[in-house]
Amino acid sequence: MTELLQQVRVIDPVSEIDGLFDVLIADGYIQAVASHISDIGSDTQIRDCQGLVLGTGLVDLYSHSGEPGFEERETLLSLLQAAAAGGFTRINILPDTSPAIDNPALVAQLQNRREGQGRQGGQGVNFSALSPPSPLSSPLPLLHLWGAITLDVAGKQMTELADLASAGVVGFTDGKPLENLALVRGVLEYLQPLGKPVAFWPSDRQLTANGVMREGSDALRFGLPPIPASAETTAIAAMLELVATIGTPVHIMRVSTSRSVELIASAKAAGLPITASTTWMHLLLDTKAVKSYNTSLHLDPPLGNLRDVAALRAGVRAGVIDAIAIDHTPYSYEEKVQAFAEAPAGAIGLELALPLLWQYLVETGEFTALELWRALSSSPAECLGQKVSAIAPDQPAELTLFDPQQTWKVERKSLYTLSQNTPWFGQQLKGHVVQIWC
């Protein structure tokens, strides 16, 4: 099928382009990009895209799948559907499934299950019909798997990293803090020749203790156990020392404090081979939001204070924080209906992140559209040693079409994810993905 998107706002962080163009797409490839395209075939579908945004496909660095083990939270299919509905053309899932992704057999099983969902390259999935979602036809986003670093719950024994690398994992992480620094050092030494990304979540669990929100006046006022910022910053400092000594590139996950941004900026200025990401909710909300005791605001790491939020936003804009991760963490209704401190930490976000980030960062003028799109698309791909294609002739059509003005309500019938643990549940949002090409 050939499609002509007329007068669409093209946001391409690869080519640093933000402007109005006609874009011609055929057979999964971009055929032409120009201010005006008139030379088209009689079978071309013409679409008036005034007011819409066409960007490079979004890439999520890390999110959680319920399957295998917790299919009531999320299946691979519902995860991929939610990702597609949120504009993501690539998604990378963490290995903390049950069983964990710690052996080549499970990697092959999940990859085969993904292929079994079926996809037709180059076709678009239209999400304009919001009520209710039905099982999506192809395409679905590309699914990549993080391989586990450790085998056992105590985190003391390395997996067969070379075997997992050969099986096709995108990189290595546990998605949980590794406090055995001797093991971390060994991992960094072992991974050097494999050429795969490795991601760590630096967090000192002894300092975290039983805390559930960022230490400060709000934690005192709300009567919730605090987590000091030093639980993160001391762990980051130790990680940076190991990277400086060994030289293996490292991705630092879930950055949440202003001091962490300073440490990472200094390390990058010194030439250390590191990249970093924060999660989307840490850019939008601060500790004052916890006043509602909504368990979907129980996150790990916890929401920061106003200074943390400002530093994270500035860090993303400056490139100190390379990417915005979604860290989609589905839980069932029953799991989240508990006291704040007792509920498991995490919230969904694949279908919500782009509309809310656009509304509160781009429409307010704090971010340019290119700055936000880069942090959600080309930069996360680069953190994985990948690239996204420019919106240019002869390039693959891996694209996201977004309507910044379309309104919709976050409710069960409008979500593809099986879970609803989000503080925006029941609220009206502005901005919705119209279509993806993958």
Class of domain 57-125+132-390 (CATH, top level)? alpha beta
Q: Report, as residue numbers or ranges, the catalytic residues.
A: 327
Query: What is the Cα–Cα distance from 229 to 308, expressed in whole angstroms?
Result: 10
pLDDT score of 122: 43
* Predicted confidence (pLDDT) per residue in 108-143, tens digit: 999 998 877 654 444 555 555 444 465 554 589 999
Averaged in consecutive runs of 10 residues, what is the pLDDT profile of the chain (438 residues)? 96 98 97 94 94 98 97 96 97 96 95 71 50 59 97 78 97 94 96 96 97 98 98 98 98 98 98 98 98 98 98 98 98 97 98 98 98 98 98 97 98 97 98 95
CA 242 – CA 181 distance, rounded (Å):
9
The two beta strands, 142-147 and 171-172, are parallel
User: How far apart (Å, rounded) are the C-alpha atoms in residues 212 and 298?
Assistant: 7
Q: Where are the domains of the chain?
A: 57-125+132-390
Residues 6+ apart with CB under 8 A from 239: 184, 200, 202, 250, 252
Q: How far apart are the C-alpha atoms of 25 and 414, rounded to whole Å?
A: 28
pLDDT at 301: 98
- Helices 306-318 and 258-269 pack at an angle, to 10 degrees, of 30
Helix %, strand %, coil % for the chain, to 5? 30, 25, 45
Alpha-helical regions (H) of 175-332:
181-191, 205-208, 217-222, 230-246, 258-269, 306-318
pLDDT tens for residues 340-360? 999 999 999 999 999 999 999
* DSSP-derived 3-state class of residue 130: coil
- The model's pTM is 0.95
Percent of the chain residues topping a pLDDT of 70 = 94
What integer pLDDT is reported at residue 282 of this predicted model? 98
